[in-house]
Structure 1
Amino acid sequence: MVFWIAIFAMVCWGIAPVFAKVGLDNLDPLPGLIIRTLTASIFALGSMGFEGSISKMKNITFITWVFIAIEALLATFIGDLAYYAAIKKGDISVVTVIMSSSPLVTILMSIIFLGEQVTMIRIIGAGLVVVGIMLIV
């Protein structure tokens, strides 16, 4: 089941940049990001209301809020704003491949800050990602 959920997510992430590219044709990246974030927030809040999990928000610890807020700042604001600026000016087929190589940074950060192990499979996988980016760009 997890595999099919991941495939569904991949298809959504693959289709979405086409709509963003067209939507940003006459729109600056920041207002586009605001529209995107508000739309996603409305759907997320509606989903929480539907499943009855809004009350769980009060049980979230301060440190959890801090870590999620930092992630939101880096990924949802700064990262997505840079992504929108890049797809507005560039080819989405190139921009999305470069952006999708973010696991390279995640692997490095997980080794440095979380003490995760370096394995030969991870090294080979990261190398293949780098080669793939060089072939496309």
Structure 2
Amino acid sequence: MWFVYALLSALFAALTAILAKVGLDGINSTLATAIRTAVVLVMAWGMVFLAGTQQGIPDISKKSWIFLVLSGLATGASWLFYFKALQLGDASKVVPIDKFSLVITIVLAFIFLHETVTLKVIIGAFLITAGTFVMIL
């Protein structure tokens, strides 16, 4: 089932880039990011209440709060830079560079989470890196 969710994530991420590129026409990228973020916020909290999971809030540990807040700050920074890049560049060039985050994630997961990096993962990361550069040149 995770594979279906991952494919849906990829589909909606692709739609995000196209819809954002069109929506950025004539608007400041920071303002556009704030509008998008407000929509995501309402949608996410709506799902929390729809699923009835709000009662778990008091059980969240201090460590989880810290890392979720840091993750939120990283997400915000990513979205701000992504929208500015989309506003200034072609979606077909911005998105591959944005998706290069996969390779960076592999490296960071190896360094900080001590995840195993197999030869298959190294080859895949190399191909993604090469593909990214081919697409943007």
TM-score (norm 1): 0.94
Counterpart for residue 27 of structure 2 = 27
Give the letter aligned to residue 90 of structure 2: D
What secondary structure does 1:45 align onto? helix
1:17-69 CA distances to partner (integer Å, 9 max, x unpaired)? 11111111111111111111110111111111111111111111111010011
Counterparts in 2 of 1:83-94, with a 5 A limit?
83-94=82-93
Counterpart for residue 131 of structure 1 = 130
Q: How many residues align?
A: 136
Alpha-carbon distance in 1 for matches of 2:116, 2:15: 34
TM-score (norm 2): 0.94
Counterparts in 2 of 1:1-137, with a 5 A limit?
1-74=1-74, 76-137=75-136
What secondary structure does 1:30 align onto? helix
- Regions of 4+ moved over 3 Å: none
What secondary structure does 1:25 align onto? coil
Alpha-carbon distance in 1 for matches of 2:50, 2:106: 35
Two-structure CA RMSD over aligned residues (Å): 1.1
What secondary structure does 2:130 align onto? helix
1:96-133 CA distances to partner (integer Å, 9 max, x unpaired)? 11101101111111111112223111110111011101
